[in-house]
Structure 1
Amino acid sequence: MSMAVEEYVGGPRAPELPEVTVTATRTRRDPFDLPQSISLFDAEEIAGPGMFVSAKGVAWRDAGIWFDERTSTTVDPIIRGFAGFNLLTLVDGNTLSTLWGEGGFGADDMYGKIDPEIVDRIEVIRGPSSALYGSNALGAVINVITRAGPIDFQEEGYAYGGRSKVTFGSAANAVGFRQEFFGAGEDFRYLVGGSARDFDDIRGGGDLGILEPSDGRERNWDFSGEMMVSDGRLLRLTVQDVHRDHVKRYYRPTQDNANDREAVGLFYEDSKGNATWDSLEARLYYQHKRDERRFFATDSEGRAVTVTYAGGLTATRKLGAGHVLTGGLAAELDRGDSPDDEQFTMTDPPPKSRAAPLSEWWNGGVFVQDEWEAHRRWSLLASARYDRMLFKTDVDGAYHPPQGDPQDDAIRENQGALTGGLGGVFKATEEIHLTGNWSRGFRQSAPNFGLRQLGDGVLIPNGLLDPTTSDNFELGLKSRSKGLRVDLAHYLSLIDNWQGDLRTVDSYNGSTWYDFNGNGVQDANEGYVQQTEGGDAFVKGFEARATWQPHAHVDAIPVNWSLDGSFAWNRGRVDGTDQHPEEEPLRHTQPMRLLLGLRWDETADPARGMWFEFRADMVGKYDDIPSDRAASDLAWREDPQDGTSGYLRDYIGTPGYTIFHLYGGMNLSKGTRVVLGIENLFDKKYRVAHSRMDAPGINFLASLEVWF
């Protein structure tokens, strides 16, 4: 093993250092000094629960990060009542979601397009962040920061090494392998790696047996290279290629999916500065996402392709009187087969046919932010951004809508959005900060094309609607004292122009209904409906997170022990509309949840670095479900593969449950590390709210990695 990586490998958990976020303000800041609610997770924290699915590792560390599950290969996060295209997900600050948001209200397979082995840390900024990141940052921003080469730049010569890792999970007979090589010279360093993972159908808890189909496999490779252009100036290139095939969604047993993502990022960082800026970051980004689906019932196959070109420039400058000014420009172009990745271009059997016209979405944004140390006890953070969007379609010969003239869907429309935020931190003491924050986020929805059958009826086309906005008001307390860290937040998000409701349309193109199943009879959901705008909604909630090292306050308790806990509760409502006169629950709130963890870290033998932890996940009953989702969403059915089956319980929802997990690890030798785990320790039969499959049963995890 190269001497250059010895400090990177082995030993117990590193001494606690100040946390740093790069996502919240686009500058390196300690979250303790910021008004937003921020969660940070490094690769070591999610090494157990995130062994195969990094998003699940985050959700099992923080009660306020929920998820729904539809396959053994990935999960979809839910944060503060928002999911899918209402959350903006980034990889190294570049979009994974795209402007129209993959998966609509549910991200489906999107988070599987990030290899968990390349994750260095994950930053979650709760609440709207459109002032810095634009559309889709309505409920939260999730920034996945990828690993760079672990060997630092050399004073002279060249150093190199590698890492091999194998992983196993029993619930899905999941097997993974990772191989990587890295090196560094005086002015460059790199990491190149490849991963392979295979998942069988997952076994559910209790007497559920095998949940078929829920299997999948993936083959990935990646590269990260950095060049020191000069002192304080760095150039970085990242390449990520993810290929997932034979991915099954349990609730759709007659389909087979393949997901590909290729992404290239080029970054330039200048931390030395000059007379104009103190720091500068420029980035260019290319992403190609391709989803393919085989429909066994009709022996047909379709695809949905989205290509992204993006760039940005951010500069920071310290001004007088305690001001730090950050400003920037952002531009993005998305091109796709359709603005909805569930509308496939059918390629087999020929001829090719589109469910929607080819679409382009252009976005340009300009933003400014001022961090002001107004007083030794007061700091303010103000931000503003303006986005201008252009959406246009290209109607080619492959687009044939079920009704009407295809050229009616040849559109070119513009829309703008103004967002911002204002937050403050009051430093009551060196150890206690009180925070207040207002921030506005927006999501610009794409138009609808063609005809699609939903639970309420047949959805007809509409043009570009006004953006959905969310104004989030939040009060918080952050405490950092010896051995104790506490974060409390109470929030209220007021949502304007919520586009989750549909209105009945008397006729479309001269007909009053569409015979979707071809039986010659108008069924309950074959009348016409159209997407509406102008609805109001809200979500409010409370979150708490804490970590405690008891030895700091009780000498009799050994220094090895630590405790952590988090709690989350929220409630959301959508105002009554013509279609649904009564107030309805917001679709993606979560059950009340309490997470507790007890951890032991070895201190007597740092080279061995042994640790273990016990975690309890306590979840309440959930029945806060909109009436239309109660009727149409398979998540609440006893059998998610059968929409006619009864509900899971004698009420519509999911019962509460408590599950337990064990994790542990140690260094077998210098450069050789093992991590073990047992999830769902007592093989509990349960279903995670919003999930369209039951949860895995007892799951034995193991990973072995060797550094050389």
Structure 2
Amino acid sequence: MTAKAYDPHFHRILTWALLALLPAAMTLPVQAQETADGATLEPIVVTATRSEQNISDAPASISVVTGEELKTAPVGDVSDAVRQLPGISLTAGSQGRREVSIRGMDSSYTLILLDGKRVNSREAVFRHNDYDLGLLPVEAIDRIEVVRGGMSSLYGSDALGGVINIITKPDADTWRGSLDSQVQTPLEGEGGQEYRSSLYLSGPIVPGKLGLTLLGGLSKREIWKAYDDEIIPGTDINRKNLTTLEGRQDHSGRARLTWTPDEQNTVEAEYGRSYQRRHGKFYFRSYDEMDSTVIRDDASFTHRGDWDWGQSELRAYWERSEPTSGEDKLVQNNYTLEGNISAPWGRHFFTLGGEARWVDLEAPGEFESGGASTHQQALYLQDDILITEELSLLLGARLDNNKYFGTHLTPRGYLVYRPTSELTLKGGVSTGFKAPTLRQLSTDSVVTSCRGACTIVGNPDLEPETSTNYELSIAYDKRDWGTSLTVFQNDVDDLIDIPRQGDGGTYEPINIDKARIRGIEMTANHVVSDFGRVTANYTFLDARNRDTDKLLANRSRHSINGRFDWFIDDRTTAFLSGEYIGEQRTYGRSGKGDDIEGYALFDIGINHRFTDSFELRGGVTNIFDKRTDDPDDDYSFAERGRTVYLGANLSF
């Protein structure tokens, strides 16, 4: 890999709007809290600017899922928690593992944060890209903030599509804890039983000075076999013996110490360790038995200051991913040092920050040189300007310096106008920059894929991907109902893709010159007195290769989500939710495009709190047993069939 001079591309701002009224359906939104006098308090978010803001004032499209909402449904990982939000779709990793895509961008453009720290294991865990989504037990999560749209000006190259920030519960002032357990079993096929338990324990060691939080999670899923009794043509393999959904075992633990010596200073030290095993039997052009294990460690040290002039934060963290079995033996170490200060000055609120990251790969079996490394540094500046009491303007820019591609500037501008407390208009333009990964760049890297039928090698001629994002939205929210409409467009240059055609061979990533992804997001919600709540969203997506005008693969053009919550009494609630994943285009080995039919999923459940500390929940997911595991249908991943679940939560 040789250094290249990078020439940044800038685009003219496009004027584009779609006027449409399309049926909305339902999702799981954050609920505003009420004060004692009945006034509504807006949710507070931090991800859009790294500082606290009301969600309506935040310069971005944001959805929030609270920890309490996570308990009302059979949530296994983050993909379950966010899949019914507007603009969100699930895509397939290896072995059909689910990954999160935002507004049609590949899942690699979704930045996962844990309490603001990036989670970065994609280099080492090539076949375990869903690992980050199972990082924490649900019981440990306070809320999940999802920012839709490019955020590279603040978070860097991984945030071209958006950001998912998993925010854990803070240390408790008095000792308290909770234990959550859940079992699920499919009613169709063979196996697939899943068991999950998580523990949260928090309290003061020295009251007012030193606090401790302990988190733990255990989960196990048996292999699910749901294929029909059929011999695969040209082989002696019976499809019914193959794995539809892989088996998995996860164990994780995390400890955090928080020291507050005075009102101005807070110091946190945190350590986590996770273990994951994946196993199954698959056939894709060839037969393959998979049994792999990944161990992950991470540690961080953080100082936060609350001063008379503003706030500061300085953080250093390390993470290590190490496969201990299976084909991949590539070890990844990430080191990050970052900090920022923020302060008001008249009608301005400034945030100035910097970041330095180093990535080291150790892979004697894959790299002839024994490994590879890269580093990147960045400075960013953001000014949130209160022009009037109703109008604010955010201006920001990030300057990245990449080892292989030099410096690149990613600016962003965003307006928020609130003429009344109910009406909000937002809009802005942001840019993004994403350098190829070490594996994508290096010809020294040779990865076996396609169940052993092909190999993937790096391409040193790759160019960085760049993007320009446009967004315009209007929202109207009253106490018992609300609605919103957002139009967006993302123009991507030099999009990296791995075209795979034929029955095998050697493939390499290439740059697609231009791609365009645009769409509409609509939401609606209504509280029906004390009886219940209806919430809805609809997403239209048009994602194309601008050079060929072909639709990009495996992106649903229409998606609808819906949920009705019934408040039976003070201790009992029930819900019915629905999700429609619309028609999408797929390209087979011949390169000819085919359309995959859309499908709908429906879930039902009930929660009952027996006492203030004990709660039971149960229900059925995929009520009508919609299946996507037929190999001839070419769906990107298999939805689990009709499944019964039962869960319990004990707090103490």
Q: Please report the TM-score for the alignment, with normalisation by the length of structure 1.
A: 0.76
Separation in 2, partners of 1:493, 1:129: 12
- 1:483 corresponds to 2:480: yes
**Which residue identity does 2:339 align to in structure 1?**
L
Separation in 2, partners of 1:702, 1:568: 31
SS of the counterpart of 2:246? coil
Cα distance, 1:259 vs structure 2: 2.2
Separation in 1, partners of 2:290, 2:262: 52
Quick check: 2:429–2:470 contact (8 Å CA) kept in 1? yes
Instruction: Return 207-216 or 473-482, whichever deviates more.
Output: 207-216
- 1:468 corresponds to 2:430: no
- Relative distance call for 1:257 and 1:530 in structure 2 (3 A) is closer
Quick check: 1:549–1:562 contact (8 Å CA) kept in 2? yes
Quick check: 2:475–2:484 contact (8 Å CA) kept in 1? yes
Tell me what 2:319 maps to: 287
Cα distance, 1:84 vs structure 2: 3.0
Report Cα offsets for 1:341-383 as digits up to 9, x if no partner: xxxx54xxxxxx6467411121111000011111223210110
**Which residue identity does 1:613 align to in structure 2?**
F
Report Cα offsets for 1:567-610 as digits up to 9, x if no partner: 1111111133xxxxx3332245324111111112355x4xxx32
**Where does 1:237-636 land on structure 2 (aligned, <5 Å)?**
237-248=269-280, 253-271=288-306, 273-274=307-308, 277-294=309-326, 301-320=327-346, 322-337=347-362, 346=365, 354=367, 357-390=370-403, 413-446=404-437, 447-450=441-444, 451=446, 461-463=458-460, 465-500=462-497, 526=505, 531-533=509-511, 535-551=513-529, 559-576=530-547, 582-602=548-568, 605=570, 609-622=571-584, 624-625=585-586, 627=587, 630-631=588-589
Cα distance, 1:248 vs structure 2: 4.1
- Relative distance call for 1:100 and 1:259 in structure 2 (3 A) is closer
Quick check: 1:618–1:658 contact (8 Å CA) kept in 2? yes
**Which residue identity does 1:313 align to in structure 2?**
G
Cα distance, 1:206 vs structure 2: 10
Cα distance, 1:120 vs structure 2: 2.1
Quick check: 1:308–1:335 contact (8 Å CA) kept in 2? yes
Quick check: 1:489–1:542 contact (8 Å CA) kept in 2? yes
Separation in 2, partners of 1:669, 1:96: 37
Cα distance, 1:485 vs structure 2: 2.7
Cα distance, 1:501 vs structure 2: 6.2
Q: Which has the larger radius of gyration?
A: 1
Separation in 1, partners of 2:539, 2:629: 18
**Which residue identity does 2:442 align to in structure 1?**
N
Cα distance, 1:80 vs structure 2: 1.1
Cα distance, 1:415 vs structure 2: 2.4
Report Cα offsets for 1:4-24 as digits up to 9, x if no partner: xxxxxxxx9964631111110
**Where does 1:151-170 land on structure 2 (aligned, <5 Å)?**
151-152=172-173, 159-170=174-185
- Relative distance call for 1:501 and 1:368 in structure 2 (3 A) is same
Report Cα offsets for 1:519-550 as digits up to 9, x if no partner: xxxx8754x76544471111001111222113
Tell me what 1:7 maps to: none
SS of the counterpart of 2:69? coil
Quick check: 2:335–2:359 contact (8 Å CA) kept in 1? yes
- 1:218 corresponds to 2:212: no
- 1:695 corresponds to 2:643: no
Cα distance, 1:186 vs structure 2: 2.3
Aligned length: 589
**Which residue identity does 1:64 align to in structure 2?**
G
Cα distance, 1:183 vs structure 2: 1.8
Cα distance, 1:53 vs structure 2: 1.9
- Relative distance call for 1:602 and 1:96 in structure 2 (3 A) is same
- Relative distance call for 1:706 and 1:113 in structure 2 (3 A) is closer
Separation in 2, partners of 1:659, 1:67: 14
Report Cα offsets for 1:409-456 as digits up to 9, x if no partner: xxxx34222101001112232211111110111211031324557899
Cα distance, 1:98 vs structure 2: 5.4
Separation in 2, partners of 1:46, 1:464: 44
- Relative distance call for 1:101 and 1:47 in structure 2 (3 A) is farther
Q: Decide which of 150, 156, 164 is 1:134's aligned counterpart.
A: 156
CA RMSD of aligned residues (A): 3.2
Quick check: 2:139–2:180 contact (8 Å CA) kept in 1? no
Separation in 2, partners of 1:220, 1:92: 17
Q: Decide which of 12, 16, 20 is 2:44's aligned counterpart.
A: 20
**Which residue identity does 1:91 align to in structure 2?**
L
Quick check: 1:87–1:141 contact (8 Å CA) kept in 2? yes
Separation in 2, partners of 1:73, 1:474: 32
Tell me what 2:21 maps to: none
SS of the counterpart of 2:589? helix
- Relative distance call for 1:204 and 1:483 in structure 2 (3 A) is farther
Report Cα offsets for 1:537-565 as digits up to 9, x if no partner: 110011112221133xxxxxxx1311101
Quick check: 2:629–2:637 contact (8 Å CA) kept in 1? yes
Tell me what 2:201 maps to: 181
Tell me what 1:670 maps to: 612
Instruction: Return 489-498 or 250-259, whichever deviates more.
Output: 250-259
Quick check: 1:201–1:210 contact (8 Å CA) kept in 2? no
Separation in 2, partners of 1:68, 1:530: 21
Separation in 2, partners of 1:254, 1:591: 35
- Relative distance call for 1:163 and 1:108 in structure 2 (3 A) is closer
Quick check: 2:574–2:606 contact (8 Å CA) kept in 1? yes
State the identity %: 20
**Which residue identity does 1:265 align to in structure 2?**
S
Cα distance, 1:49 vs structure 2: 4.0
SS of the counterpart of 1:117? helix
Quick check: 1:196–1:218 contact (8 Å CA) kept in 2? yes
Separation in 2, partners of 1:249, 1:483: 51
- Relative distance call for 1:78 and 1:503 in structure 2 (3 A) is closer
Quick check: 1:368–1:383 contact (8 Å CA) kept in 2? yes
**Which residue identity does 1:656 align to in structure 2?**
G
Separation in 1, partners of 2:430, 2:291: 41
Gaps of 5+ in 1: 1-11, 153-158, 295-300, 339-344, 347-352, 391-412, 505-522, 552-558, 577-581, 634-646
SS of the counterpart of 1:593? strand
- Relative distance call for 1:210 and 1:596 in structure 2 (3 A) is farther
Separation in 1, partners of 2:625, 2:282: 20
Cα distance, 1:706 vs structure 2: 1.5
Separation in 2, partners of 1:687, 1:538: 30
Quick check: 2:96–2:638 contact (8 Å CA) kept in 1? no
Cα distance, 1:133 vs structure 2: 0.6
Cα distance, 1:458 vs structure 2: 6.7
SS of the counterpart of 2:68? coil
Cα distance, 1:74 vs structure 2: 5.7
Cα distance, 1:503 vs structure 2: 12
- Relative distance call for 1:115 and 1:74 in structure 2 (3 A) is farther
Separation in 2, partners of 1:284, 1:602: 48
Instruction: Give the structure with the larger strand fraction.
Output: 2
